[in-house]
Amino acid sequence: MLEKAMRKPFHLFTCHRRDEDDFTVIAHRGASAYYPENTFPSFEGAIAMGADMVELDVQLTSDAEVVVFHDENLSRCTNGRGRITDYTLMALKKLDAGGWFGRKFKNVKIPTLDEVLDICKNRIAVNVEIKTASVSRIISGGIEEKCLKIVERCRMKEHVVFSSFDPCALLHLKRLDKTAPVAVLYKKKIYGSKRLPDMMDALDAVAFNCSKSELNNEWMALAQSCGIPINVYTVNDIRSMRKLINMGVSGIFTNKPDVLKKVSAEIRKLKSEDKQL
């Protein structure tokens, strides 16, 4: 059991400095409050704002290429129609994935996972969320194996953690590579009333990700006693940021990494001043 093992927090960063309290600023789909989500401008923006990690979503094209895109349907974030799985990579690259957000982002393209990892390498860590629509019973040749190979090829293995609402994706990753770091992405209808340590043990997970509304005092107490990092999504208001940081969460997913970084620094400064009194 984790209570006895005292699982140590998982640290992704060897290429840049961590905050003293190891709090992680996670840019949700990049700096998506300011740039079109899951695009190069959004990830570059997050890096410029000093985020510790970017979160992105991956799924497969009709020709089995791994692209970075959130929705199953193209209409919200591109000028295309239909499902992303009905398009080849070449066809997707012809779409405008930025104009919906603002004129200056017109003709921004849907990136592949390779392309995003290339710009993140030696600059920032990455949370790769595997979308449930792309998860199948196939292990060999499935999206999980493709992602692992891409991460290895990009030499980002030490700086990538995988998550998915579908626990099968995490089990597949572990079958393929038992050292692959995975995070539980909590959904009550899947995990039910399972205890936090049991969920972590079942998937050999390194972190637990949940929504702000799902986080409770019992989970926080267990997490702190067992050394389980809890990351909360998606938080964009300052009041909630302050509350969660003071509760002791390990990280927060936000569309506004600049705001969260400032709030985190202010709280760390106050704590430091209190210790000196």
Backbone angles phi, psi at 111, to 5 degrees: -90, 160
Please state the separation of Cα 136 from the chain's center in Å. Answer: 21
Pick the catalytic residue: 11, 70, 159, 172? Answer: 70
Say which DSSP state 210 is in: E
Beta bridge partners of 144: none
CA–CA distance, 230 with 210 (Å, rounded to integer): 8
Residue 70 appears among annotated catalytic residues: yes
CA–CA distance, 116 with 34 (Å, rounded to integer): 18
Residues whose CB is less than 8 angstroms from the CB of residue 143 and which lie 6 or more positions away in sequence, other chains included? 58, 59, 60, 66, 130, 134, 135, 136, 169
Of 261, 275, 184, nearest in space to 223 by CA: 184
Query: Which amino acid is it at 274?
Result: D
Pick the catalytic residue: 11, 16, 28, 172? Answer: 28
H helices present in the chain, as ranges: 2-5, 40-48, 89-92, 113-120, 143-153, 167-176, 188-191, 196-203, 217-226, 238-247, 257-276
Residue 28 appears among annotated catalytic residues: yes
CA–CA distance, 104 with 93 (Å, rounded to integer): 18
Burial class (CB in 10 A: 0-12, 13-18, 19+), 189: exposed
- Which residue numbers are catalytic? 28, 70
